Structure 1
Amino acid sequence: MGKRDPNRGLERLFRESTWTLSQFAREVNRMGTERGTPLRYREPSVHQWLGGHLPKEHVRPLILEALARRLRRPVTHAEAGFPPPGGGTGPGPGTVEGLVDLGRKDMDPSRRSVLGYSLFSVALTVPDWPDVVGRMEAVQKGQAGRIGMPEVDMVIAMTERVSELDDQFGGRHARPMAAAFLVNTVTPYLRADAPEAVRKAMMSAASDLCYLTGWMAVDEGLHGLAQQYYVKALQLAGASEDHLTYCTTLRGMSVQAVDLGHGPEAMRLADAAAAASPQAGPRMRAFLAGQQAHAAAQTGERSSALLYLKEAEAAMDKAESREKAFGSYDPSALHYHISHVRHELGDLPGAVEAMKESDKLCYAVYRRSRVKERATLAEFQMQMGHLEAACGTWNEALDEYPLVQSNKVDQRMQTMLRMIRPHLKNRTARALHERARAVAPATLSA
């Protein structure tokens, strides 16, 4: 038998605890007594664990709890060098732990830990609604005590605030804040004791925050990381029987796929979102059908794309006749979809007109979207050969670009520099190029 490798993760936690071997063993034994299963571990057992011997499966949670109490923070299986707990794709005991590990990597200000999360996976396993609905997390008492609806309301309010920051300034700085809030506040709440209605409400709120964090990861181009957040959102939405967030997340995953050019995957996810929401109201139906139209257009399904677009327009008319909604799918977003569908189908003039209408209807608070969509409009204008008009639109995008921290917007600016470079003999294009080099980061204007 070969020599075991030391458990470096457990070693780090042990050093951080400043315990002796006997103190570590004693605390694990105490956890066993609390659980009703007295244990009699001593120093040699702890020494074996540190040396790479895997503790019995039923003892591992006790080791993690002892360390968590000592270090005053959650400790996960992965952090301690243990394999993940068993369970299927639904939100079983490993969901909260996985969320902690994911959020911790995302909190690293150096971003080194998330560089490996930029690859989008078309082979991602997406849990179906029947697979996740009603599967409650195992209650893990201890750290957060008992929670009620005030804690749920606080999580909802914080999610709204982070979303506002993302809309105005982009997700580059807001996402690590969301990740820290998930790890330090929300995951202890998910482990806390609570009445069933409160637990479901907390999982629903956590699901919405996971979706938002995934959306911001897409904005920074960390597509694998975004997919992991999205799957957590689906699991928590199913566990809390939150149809709205489940469908919204699937639709967000479709948006991610279509933006990356994965048309068939985008269509599959858009159809899954629509199928999971049979009782959708008109605004939700417009929200879903608009995305189906975009995905269908990208896959070359012209008749389906136009049919979905017609359905989205009819649903939006019905929704707007009932009440205008700020902060949800609105006429500006619909015209954005119309523009992209027309562009995919080769109707450049129609794409330009629809994007102009989207820009005109866009609320002022959505700065990040406005800058990105103005840059996209300019690209469409350039494809039509309208250099002067495109330069004017790009200048409008540059007015607010310095206020936005977004990889998606940075990419649009890189595209701008590339598209106008062959036209620098034109005075308007040269002036735009000089202005862009003055306001863009050096990495873009090089």
Structure 2
Amino acid sequence: MKDSNTKLADWLNRSGWSRGELARRVKAKAAAWGYPHVSTDTSSVRRWITLGEVPREPVPAVLADIFSARFGYRVTTDDLGLGESPDIDRALTYSSSFAVTVEAVAELGRADVDRRTLLVGAPFAALAAVGPSRDWLLNQLDQQPEPGRHVRLEDVASVKNMFGAFQEMDIFQGGGSGRLALAAYMNEHVYPLLRRTDSDEVRHALCQAAAEQVYLLGWMAFDSGEHGTAQRYLVQALRFAEESKDPALGAHVLAGMADQATLLGHPEEGRRLAQSGRQGLGRTESNACLADLWTLEARALAVLGDKAATVKAIANAEHSFAKVDPEREPEWAKFIDPAYLGGEWANAFRDIDQPKHAEEHAHSSINHAKKQNRARRGAMSQAALAVTHLQRRDLEAAHAAGVRTIDLARRVKSSRCVEAVQDVQRRMIPFGKHPLVADFNERAHTLQAA
């Protein structure tokens, strides 16, 4: 007979919930994750506690998420006495051990390439970034790198060259195009290098290259709408960035985490992550990264409805970007350009109901994206433009911009483009059964079906 689970009993007691309340919350959360078959009841909770029974997946991960939300910090399945759930929890942990970090991200990569069901359906854990961002910032403030050092090693150069190729693929074809190929490349060529013992100089350089690649994996998963997978890659990218002693790279990872948090309905967390990135950036010169962090803080502030702070953050972003010297910026900052920033500023002004400014920035973004043949960015900025027309009650102009959004979205594998189209659809609802609305919905349905 198994022993009772005193850990789970203790967490439940501290929460103040009854067994019935916990059962209700598990059932509701599991259904929200897409597991309506989970039928937890009071008897189930009793068996977990008194008999030490371990429930089937995804219940352990659901319990961890529920208790994390209750206490305000990440609680793992191991904390609850339910054992490790590697595909779900391990890659959310910001380990002080470099060896553990390597194994966690390698395990994540294997699961990603194998398309394991639990990983594909892994949820975004809003509180998981609290510890990693705090630990990175504290360590960063204590260990500022020597300025001006550039490591150029042959084994690292090959990894960096591959990063450039995969980043181009993401920018022009969308995150769904090359992610599995990149994950396989990392599994075969990069993670084995990280397991070797080298000099500090080599390890720092290799960790920098690995952080860039792991971040890109996270971004590609983000663009494909697999937010649980994306979050896990980003947490591990942040740990590699710390090991590389590159504060700008770590701040860049936090920018990605901020973007994701705000997009998924956690703007307070998005704002905090962007602020942590700015603080950790310190005196390091990466005006592109600083502009991005101010931009993502503006996006969060706009969702929160703070109009004055949003406008100020955008002004700070513009000021930082005006000082960018492309020759001094890292390759990963290549995407932080007028096409990207203009689109994000347009969305921020859209969210604070200032369509005039939103339209100006949307047009700027669209023009730059068109020159570069960047369909994903063009689609997202066309969608922002469509919304500004809807805010002015100009359905005809909104329909035209919406159709351009769909045409561009067809050219890339990006769930964010599809979501942008869906957002325009939702905002057209007040116009009822107008023929232009019906036409747009039909075109959107064709895109989504494809």
Same fold (TM over 0.5): yes
Contact 1:333–1:358 (8 Å) recurs in 2: yes
Backbone CA RMSD of aligned residues: 3.3
Distance 2:292 2:444 in 1: 34
**Are the structure 2 counterparts of residues 408 and 321 from structure 1 closer, same or farther at C-alpha, using a change threshold of 3 Å?**
closer
2:355 to 320, 345, 348: 348
Distance 2:98 2:141 in 1: 12
**Are the structure 2 counterparts of residues 272 and 100 from structure 1 closer, same or farther at C-alpha, using a change threshold of 3 Å?**
same
SS in structure 2 opposite 1:403?
coil
**Are the structure 2 counterparts of residues 181 and 385 from structure 1 closer, same or farther at C-alpha, using a change threshold of 3 Å?**
same
Q: Find the counterpart in structure 1 of residue 299 from structure 2.
A: 294
SS in structure 2 opposite 1:319?
coil
2:344 to 337, 342, 362: 337
Distance 2:142 2:249 in 1: 15
Q: Find the counterpart in structure 1 of residue 381 from structure 2.
A: 373
**Are the structure 2 counterparts of residues 79 and 158 from structure 1 closer, same or farther at C-alpha, using a change threshold of 3 Å?**
farther
**Are the structure 2 counterparts of residues 364 and 424 from structure 1 closer, same or farther at C-alpha, using a change threshold of 3 Å?**
farther
**1:341 alignment partner AA:** A
C-alpha offsets along residues 158-180 of structure 1, whole Å, 9 cap, x if unaligned?
12111111111211232222221
**1:157 alignment partner AA:** N
**2:103 alignment partner AA:** E
Distance 1:198 1:114 in 2: 32
Q: Find the counterpart in structure 2 of residue 114 from structure 1.
A: 119
Deviation at residue 239 of structure 1 after TM alignment: 0.9
Deviation at residue 365 of structure 1 after TM alignment: 4.1
1:396 to 396, 404, 419: 404
Deviation at residue 371 of structure 1 after TM alignment: 1.5
1:412 to 404, 415, 420: 420
Larger gyration radius, structure 1 or structure 2: 1
Unaligned runs of 5+ in 2: 4-82, 144-151
C-alpha offsets along residues 266-285 of structure 1, whole Å, 9 cap, x if unaligned?
11101000000111433333
Distance 2:401 2:86 in 1: 53
C-alpha offsets along residues 146-191 of structure 1, whole Å, 9 cap, x if unaligned?
xx93221111111211111111121123222222122221110101
**Are the structure 2 counterparts of residues 322 and 105 from structure 1 closer, same or farther at C-alpha, using a change threshold of 3 Å?**
closer
Deviation at residue 210 of structure 1 after TM alignment: 0.9
**1:230 alignment partner AA:** L
Contact 1:372–1:412 (8 Å) recurs in 2: yes
Q: Does 1:161 align with 2:168?
A: no
Q: Does 1:95 align with 2:101?
A: yes
Distance 1:151 1:198 in 2: 9
Contact 1:117–1:224 (8 Å) recurs in 2: yes
Unaligned runs of 5+ in 1: 4-76, 136-147
C-alpha offsets along residues 181-238 of structure 1, whole Å, 9 cap, x if unaligned?
2222111010124333222111110001111111111112222221211111111111
1:314 to 319, 326, 333: 319
Q: Does 1:359 align with 2:366?
A: yes
Q: Find the counterpart in structure 2 of residue 31 from structure 1.
A: none
Deviation at residue 347 of structure 1 after TM alignment: 1.1
**Are the structure 2 counterparts of residues 162 and 365 from structure 1 closer, same or farther at C-alpha, using a change threshold of 3 Å?**
farther
Contact 1:132–1:239 (8 Å) recurs in 2: no
Deviation at residue 101 of structure 1 after TM alignment: 1.0
Deviation at residue 103 of structure 1 after TM alignment: 0.7
Distance 1:159 1:322 in 2: 18
Structure 1 vs Structure 2: percent identity of aligned residues?
27
Q: So what's the TM-score if we normalise by structure 2? A: 0.70
Distance 1:342 1:80 in 2: 41
Deviation at residue 346 of structure 1 after TM alignment: 2.1
**1:347 alignment partner AA:** Q
Distance 2:128 2:94 in 1: 17
Instruction: Point out the more displaced range, 210-219 or 174-183.
Output: 174-183
SS in structure 2 opposite 1:236?
helix
Distance 1:309 1:422 in 2: 30
Aligned residues: 353
Q: Find the counterpart in structure 2 of residue 267 from structure 1.
A: 271
Q: Spell out the pairing of 1:174-323 with structure 2 (5 A cutoff).
A: 174-281=178-285, 282-319=287-324
Deviation at residue 328 of structure 1 after TM alignment: 3.8
Distance 2:397 2:86 in 1: 58
